[in-house]
Structure 1
């Protein structure tokens, strides 16, 4: 019986395309980690939904050869550990703000550079322009594969007053979300608070923080309207645009056969339209959510964006461009898209 079983196994291995193409086989589900609330394919934070849609479609296209396990709410590992874990091959995929890795790879802070991206069309246009190709190559060299380009506009939730123009920030304790955002807030006279978006609620609830800049989707998903008296939306225009892609560990990616790699990249690209539509819908929905909670809701004008952009050029952009040659190159390429 043992001999027959062994023969059966050997015969199966000999005829398996996966084993013929590569010496490595995906023996367990690929892990996808993110910090956002979990939901379903049809309901919940669109970033969680996107990971579920991605997993289902890739599994379908690979006829079950690739399967995925999704870990929302930083349930697998801490938020700020995800990028490093992908680089080391300890995590397969993550949907995470790229700027969270700025302390490890300073170049990635281009993904949350105040005033550098002011519309979705401009941000998504990066992918096929010089800036997008350079950023994709940089991440590849750092051990990370860009799978889906996702941009989100953001606004400001405040427990005190609306933050619209730079002078409104003076004396407030505000979370910016990146080194560069913090620089413009400091220049405007604010005290900065650094923490991931899933920790904003507690900080505002206790008064440790007065206001926070974050994406429209996070403003909804983390129920910040419960601790806010005012909201500055990102609908129409914004100086806060965040690049929050779905990424994969290069080492995990390279272990897969070519057809599975192709499926991952194709599905990732196809989901970008969903991400853009969902993010824009949240830019509008967030205003309704906060109005219903009794918060004062205001929109940014082009003039207000230009005020923040002017501060950014002499602080955040200058600081970033001087950090190293790669940063200078990326900034120059990004400015061509303005």
Structure 2
């Protein structure tokens, strides 16, 4: 028997009374939570690590709660469209999602910092966000919007190109490029590119038809969406990158707050375990993507320090400035992020 989302929310106010009489109550019925994401599905041991992360997280929580919580996982945006997931979380219409947080930047402007070009350039820097002032401020903003961060997941990204390699800003001039966020697009425009906006799960068709010449996305997405079949060149994120995305496992705060304390604790503990797994797998994919594209015949290129500084200068003058000008909260977040 599953407890519905409506029942979870309706009974939230009664939880203190339930807890008081818990030792006299029968075993709690299982609550089934839904996890949605846009990435290809697989198994707990094989496939896109982001799907595997969700499955490992689910198994860990189910075990820790002795089956009080179980999960249904919907990969490939099979439950709802990608861009609808954040709003659904805020309304309590979806329980959890592994979600590229900058996709929600149109709804919550501060979230655009989750894919700000050249702001984060290494995993060491990225993982420091959680406990730094930027992480505390970012968490507060999300919670005020009805969303809880369960696991901080970061991914470096690269550039798959149907034409020449895109390593330096000058290489982007005249190309149709998918950047992955509004801020990334601003930097690309400043570099002379024409930008194309779409979720990463639509990139294969876009590159196949020529709607885009080059695509920036995470190493894992470059692999999972088989872009090596179409690319002539790849710029990796394995050493350093100006493309670093925050792609956390997030949960509806209304659903989270309505759960008993032991279940909330199990969720957050499993989230911490997922962060370690996610970082390890993201780094593995940064290396694997170069091997996969190389075997397919693509030229393999890396971003060096000089190229990174060129991108950073353009980003600061365009995307960073635009973001800071959006308001005091954005300017403060950018300042806190630069301090990490």
Shorter-chain TM-score range? over 0.9
Counterpart in the other structure of 1:243: 246
Secondary structure of 1:128's counterpart equals coil
1:154 aligns with 2:152: no
Q: In structure 2, what is the Cα distance between the partners aligned to 1:19 and 1:292?
A: 62
Q: In structure 2, what is the Cα distance between the partners aligned to 1:22 and 1:297?
A: 62
Counterpart in the other structure of 2:25: none
Alignment of 1:82-101 (within 5 A): 82-101=85-104
Q: TM-score, normalised by structure 2?
A: 0.92
Q: 1:28 to 1:305 in 2, by over 3 A?
A: same
1:325 Cα deviation (Å)? 1.4
CA contact (8 A) 1:154 1:215 kept: yes
1:27 Cα deviation (Å)? 5.9
Counterpart in the other structure of 2:255: 252
Counterpart in the other structure of 1:105: 108
Counterpart in the other structure of 2:75: 72
Residue by residue, what CA displacement relative to the aligned partner does 1:240-286 show, whole Å, maximum 9, x if unpaired?
Answer: 00000000000110110111101100110122111111000000000
Q: In structure 2, what is the Cα distance between the partners aligned to 1:32 and 1:156?
A: 29
User: Alignment partner for residue 115 of structure 1, among 107, 118, 127?
Assistant: 118
1:21 Cα deviation (Å)? 2.6
Alignment RMSD (CA, Å): 1.5
Residue by residue, what CA displacement relative to the aligned partner does 1:174-227 show, whole Å, maximum 9, x if unpaired?
Answer: 000001000010000000000000001000000011001000000000001111
Residue by residue, what CA displacement relative to the aligned partner does 1:79-110 show, whole Å, maximum 9, x if unpaired?
Answer: 01111110011100000100000110010011
Alignment of 1:214-233 (within 5 A): 214-233=217-236
CA contact (8 A) 1:152 1:215 kept: yes
1:20 Cα deviation (Å)? 1.9
CA contact (8 A) 1:22 1:256 kept: no
User: Alignment partner for residue 62 of structure 2, among 55, 59, 62?
Assistant: 59
Q: In structure 2, what is the Cα distance between the partners aligned to 1:82 and 1:189?
A: 32
Counterpart in the other structure of 2:53: 50
Residue by residue, what CA displacement relative to the aligned partner does 1:46-66 show, whole Å, maximum 9, x if unpaired?
Answer: 000000000000000000000
Structure 2 stretches lacking a partner, 5+ long: 1-14, 22-27
1:278 aligns with 2:281: yes
Q: TM-score, normalised by structure 1?
A: 0.93
Residue by residue, what CA displacement relative to the aligned partner does 1:280-317 show, whole Å, maximum 9, x if unpaired?
Answer: 00000000000010011101101111100000111000
1:26 Cα deviation (Å)? 7.0
Counterpart in the other structure of 2:3: none
1:335 aligns with 2:335: no
CA contact (8 A) 1:22 1:255 kept: no
User: Alignment partner for residue 18 of structure 2, among 8, 17, 20?
Assistant: 20
Structure 1 stretches lacking a partner, 5+ long: 1-16
